[in-house]
Structure 1
Amino acid sequence: MNHKEINIRQLQESDKSQLARLANNSNISNNLRDYFPNPYDDEDAESFIKMTIAQDPTTSFGIEFEGELCGVISLILQNDIYRKSAEIGYWLGEPYWGKGITTKAVSQITEYGFEKLNLIRIYAGIIEYNTSSMRVLEKSGFKMEGIFQKAIIKNDKIWDEHRYYILNKGYIKNKDKQL
């Protein structure tokens, strides 16, 4: 696959209907935090897009495949003593699954986080049954950090959380450098 077909970009108001159509899917919401709306409608899409446009710096992006919006990827910047870390979150519309799109998008936003936001660490917490997402992270260079036993409640069941991380190699090489 030509990976030039896959890009992350700022969301636009014109993405509203495509975003709502793809996001309104329990196969997606079942793998995400409960604050992700289900059902997901045009109003949810509109308010999310407005929020991302107002971000400074931008940390949430649309995933584009062959010129079409197909998902969303974000870095959730941490604060206080974790201010050089971010949690990564993403979802891809079901028609686009299995094409290597998310792996490329994860690599792109990781590079952005390290180069533009000067992050040292990016991590993800994945619900134990979402093995596809674990594979995406592993293919993108993330390493398994550990399993948080019975840490997640989703759909009235208790699940383990699999934690993954990646470190900024540029920082590791210059670790004696002051921040």
Structure 2
Amino acid sequence: MKSNNIHIRELTVEDAPGLLKLQEENREFFERYSPTRTPDYYTMESMLTRIQKQTEARQNDQAYDFGIFTNDNDLLVGTVSLFQVMRGPLQSAFIGYDLDQKYNGKGYTTEAVRQIVEYGFYELKLHRIEAGAMTHNIASIRVLEKAGFHKEGVAQKNVHINGKWEDHQVLAILNPGS
């Protein structure tokens, strides 16, 4: 899937070095918004395992993970995913993403979110995609709003991040065709 500045695609084992570099270079930045990661997370073995698990989750219709790549030089600058895919009467998933701090403010995350939402609605036939962003992560909330998500409320002490339970703004988008 391609837009003006970026494209998203499944990660392969060939992407593991780029994924490791992305994670290492943005460790401090990403860990401000992510559950606690152990030091062994930042290894090539861990990245290869991550990609393998993503492939299995996709095959089992549980999650759909993509790398975010620049169009001009095919550089891996982030990730975007639909996870906790629920079928049956829900037909929903959660969205998550991260972007290299050096590329923030260029609209890349908004483009990636729009692409994966389109994929979720038109390829996966989802009815609803939900997101949660720490209430003080205004940039992430803004990305979601620009991509068409609406605020639904605040989930208090919802996710354990850096040793603390953090409140999250809950946002969602509904498939206009369902």
Q: TM > 0.5 between the two?
A: yes
Distance 1:133 1:40 in 2: 24
Q: Which amino acid aligns with 2:14?
A: S
Instruction: Tell me how far 1:15 sits from its aligned partner.
Output: 1.1
| Count of paired positions | 169
Distance 1:80 1:32 in 2: 26
Structure 2 matches for 1:157-176, cutoff 5 A? 157-171=164-178
Q: Say which of 55, 78, 85 aligns to 2:92.
A: 85
Instruction: Tell me how far 1:82 sits from its aligned partner.
Output: 6.1
How far does the alpha carbon of each residue in 1:93-133 deviate from its partner, in whole angstroms, 9 at most, with x for none? Answer: 22221111000000000000000111000001111222111
Change (3 A) 1:149 1:77: closer
Q: Say which of 110, 116, 120 aligns to 1:113.
A: 120
TM-score (normalizing by structure 1): 0.85
Structure 2 matches for 1:39-54, cutoff 5 A? 40-54=42-56
Check whether the contact 1:20–1:40 (CA below 8 A) recurs between aligned residues. Answer: yes
Structure 2 matches for 1:4-153, cutoff 5 A? 4-24=4-24, 25-34=27-36, 40-54=42-56, 55-56=58-59, 57=61, 59-66=64-71, 67-79=74-86, 83-153=90-160
Check whether the contact 1:29–1:37 (CA below 8 A) recurs between aligned residues. Answer: no
Check whether the contact 1:143–1:164 (CA below 8 A) recurs between aligned residues. Answer: yes
Residue 125 of structure 2 aligns to a residue whose secondary structure is coil
Higher RCO (CA 8 Å, separation ≥ 6 residues)? 2
Change (3 A) 1:52 1:156: closer
Q: Which amino acid aligns with 2:22?
A: L
Distance 1:103 1:163 in 2: 17
Distance 1:165 1:137 in 2: 9
Check whether the contact 2:22–2:76 (CA below 8 A) recurs between aligned residues. Answer: no
Distance 1:5 1:141 in 2: 19
Distance 2:101 2:35 in 1: 18
Structure 2 gap segments, 5+ residues each: none
Moved more, 12-21 or 56-65: 56-65
Check whether the contact 2:10–2:66 (CA below 8 A) recurs between aligned residues. Answer: yes
Moved more, 153-162 or 16-25: 153-162
Change (3 A) 1:21 1:6: same
Residue 35 of structure 2 aligns to a residue whose secondary structure is coil
Moved more, 17-26 or 72-81: 72-81
Residue 14 of structure 2 aligns to a residue whose secondary structure is helix
Structure 1 gap segments, 5+ residues each: 172-179
TM-score (normalizing by structure 2): 0.85
Check whether the contact 1:22–1:94 (CA below 8 A) recurs between aligned residues. Answer: no
